[in-house]
Each structure stands twice: as C-alpha cells, then as structure tokens.
Amino acid sequence: MALLMAGCNKSKDVPVPSEGPNSFLTQTYPLPDNSRKIMDGIYKVTAGNELFGDQVVLKWSRKKLTMMCSDGHYSVLDVGQLDSVIVIQGYWRYCYNDNTGLLNAYIARDEGGSEIVNGVTTPMIILRGAYGKTGNELDKALELVYQRPISPALLSKKFSILAHRSGGRTSDHLPVSENSIAMINFTEGLGSTGIEVDVQLTRDGIPVLFHDGDINIRLTQKGPLSGPIHDFTYMQLYYLVSLIHGEHIPRLNDALMFVVDSTLISDVYLDMKENVNSMSTVIPIQKEMLQRAKDKGRDLHIYVGLPSQDAINDFMNQPDYLITPSLCELTVDDVVRTNSMVWAPRWTEGTQNDLVAQIHTQGRIAWTWTLDNVEWIKEYINDGNFNGILTNYPFVVGYYHYIREK
C-alpha cells in the first residue's frame, strides 16, 4: 500500500526544460506565416523512435510548433531562422506521467531550410537534432523526414480540438493553472483549436472561471479563504486567492477578451457550473465578445453550455434564447427545443452515429467529452462522425485527426 501511495503521489511542479538565456534562438528571426505552413505535415521518425514512435505530426499554432505523437508524447517548440537554416528548440512531455526533457533540432539549408525561408513548398524536409530523456541532457539522436502534407480535404472541413479547462487539469502538471488566462495563452501550443472553461458567479454576480465547488488546495495556493465561490465578492477573490501557479481567478469578460484579442482560438464552450440562475449575467458578456470578434474579423464561436434541465429552464427564460449560441449536453430533443447549435453528449454514450447524422441533417454540429484514452480517441476519430472532441490531451486528438486522408 505504501508503494502504491508513493506511486500516485506526484509533485505539483514538473519543470519545463529550457535553454534559458543562452538559447541560440535569441540570434534568429521569426518565420513568416507562409513559411510556417510549409512545415506542417506528417513526418517519418528515422531516429528517436524509442520515444516518439515511427510517425509524428508537425503542426503550427499561433506561435508554437507542436509535435504530436501516437501514444501521448508531444513537443512544444519555438522556431527561428538564421539565413537559410531553421532552428528549433523546445521540450517534450509524456501526458500520462511526468517524463519530460529538452529537444533541439535544425533544418539545413539544403534539406528544406532554404525553401521554407523563401516560402516555397518542398517535398524534401529533414529535421535533425537531439533530445534528452531527463532534464536538459541532449544525448539521443532525433531525425524526422517529411512524408506528406496534412490532407487539404481534411483541413477544408472544420474539426474542433477542444481543451478541457482551457488546456488541461492541475493534475496534468502543466506550467500554468487550469481555467486561467495564462492557460488560454498556453493551450494553442498543445494543439488546441478551442477551449472549454468553467463558469461560476461570485457573491456580487460577476462570472469567473473556476471548476470546483469550493476554494481548495487542489486549485489554489493555501490562503485565508475557503468555501464556495459564490460566498465571496470578486475583489475578495482577486486579492486573497491565487491559483496553483500564482495567477488570479479570471473574470469571464477578461478571459473572453483575451481569446478575441490575443489568440486564434475558434471555439469556446462555457460550461455553466452555477446552480443559481446565471444566464442573464453570462449571455450579455457572450454577445459583447461575439460582436468584438466580428468587428475584428475573427471567426469565433462562443457557446453557452446547457448541462441540466435547470440550466435549460434558465436559458429558455431569456428573451433571445432561440438566437443565442448554445451547446446542449442532454437529448437530441432538448437540442431542438433550445435551438442549440451544438449537441455534446458524454463520450461514454458511444459514437451514436445515427443520432449524430440526425443532428447534421438539422444543420447542427456534434462534439463529445471528455475523451483522453488513446485507443478511444483513435476509435472515435476513425469510426465516429463527431465534429469535435473535448479532451485534456489535444495533441493526441490532433495526431489521429491530422493523419487522416479526409
């Protein structure tokens, strides 16, 4: 029993390996967007198979290059150019435990670097480098050889890779806290194209992001407050509560404004945790942020979640509910009754392809949640017809999605 408990007791902090201030990337220039797109694709692993398997996906987000593997390994990478050489530095992680290490690589000028820098598509890209199995060591060879692009037919159809709690849970030991603005800024590097956030009301009626029913040391640093979020005003929470990595509990308004102004996230799922009526407070913020996104030319969707009949009743009491973007977790009949754009059943209900097809004929979309097991993710992507998956491991969903042909 003691050994079992020791195996389950993991530290809060998993250091992110980094080159620090001596990083060679400080001497490089950022790649333009058209050059980044050339690097996206499916790569054969010719060295480094022990850790990364036989094939990986490389996919750019807003500011990071993500390497996605078949078993839950992934890398978050920074990239720069120096003359015609592409320099790549970052770290790898394994999502099912705390294993992590440093990764450095480059693309030589005559192995695709020159074409990438000049924005010219090339079928010949070789990424060479090294990684370490612990800390900042670099003692294992890495080589990736470009095989093919991500299918244009696949990319022409939107598939949402939604990150749970805006990127992952505290138990996943990421370097930022769940349901924080820092996590929203971090999540695209994990391969996310959308996020789910948990919404509760403070005592003075301000919607904030927080998952649990009360303030606790799972989500926050030890402090003077304990009890439900709705027992405290926002200013009390702001000054007296810090999340695990020191961030403030964010207001919904501030979190959505960050999504609009500072990310390329395309979908936001507002998971309503409050048992009291909250739609009249949350929906105006949703509308304001959707208008802000429209004014900026952003293709952003924000859906109010309907997880229960109480939430549906509160939602349907709002004057414009039929034209308010919403997501219903209950039955297909409830989806029609609320005119929800998204049906989101729990993954344990199965792929339900017949009901998903019914949803599609109505011009709606279907997501499922919260799917983390590699084999189940693989099955739902290959055999299911969902338009998106909510997960704590967006890089796993991304791998199995992007390797598809259509």
Q: How does pLDDT run across 358-397, given as a tens digit for each residue?
A: 999 999 999 999 999 999 999 999 999 999 999 999 999 9
Sequence-distant (6+) residues with CB within 8 A of 386 are: 351, 356, 366, 367, 368, 380
Q: What does the block give as tokens for 287?
A: 């509308």
pTM over 0.85: yes
Predicted pLDDT at 1: 33
For residue 281, what are the CA distances in angstroms to 150, 285, 328?
Answer: 42, 7, 19
Q: What does the block give as tokens for 340?
A: 């929800």
Express each pLDDT in 24-49 by its tens digit.
899 999 999 999 999 999 999 999 99
Among 193, 11, 5, 175, smallest CA distance to 90 is for 175
Alpha-carbon gap, residue 67 to 89, rounded angstroms: 12
Sequence-distant (6+) residues with CB within 8 A of 14 are: 93, 98, 100, 173, 175
C-alpha 238: how far from its chain's center? 25
**Tokens 């996906």 label which residue?**
57
Asked whether the predicted pLDDT for residue 3 surpasses 50, the reply is no
Alpha-carbon gap, residue 183 to 394, rounded angstroms: 13
Express each pLDDT in 188-236 by its tens digit.
999 999 999 999 999 999 999 999 999 999 999 999 999 999 999 999 9
Predicted pLDDT at 8: 38
Q: What does the block give as tokens for 304?
A: 């109010």
Among 49, 19, 15, smallest CA distance to 138 is for 19
For residue 14, what are the CA distances in angstroms to 17, 142, 190, 261, 338?
Answer: 9, 23, 16, 30, 43
Query: Mean pLDDT over residues 184-189, rounded?
Result: 98
Alpha-carbon gap, residue 362 to 365, rounded angstroms: 9
Express each pLDDT in 309-332 by its tens digit.
999 999 999 999 999 999 999 999
In order of their start, the domains of the chain are: 10-149 (no CATH), 155-402 (3.20.20.190)
Burial of 154 from C-beta contacts in 10 A (0-12 / 13-18 / 19+): middle
Query: Mean pLDDT over residues 168-186, rounded?
Result: 97
Predicted pLDDT at 21: 75
Question: What amino acid occupies position 343?
Answer: W
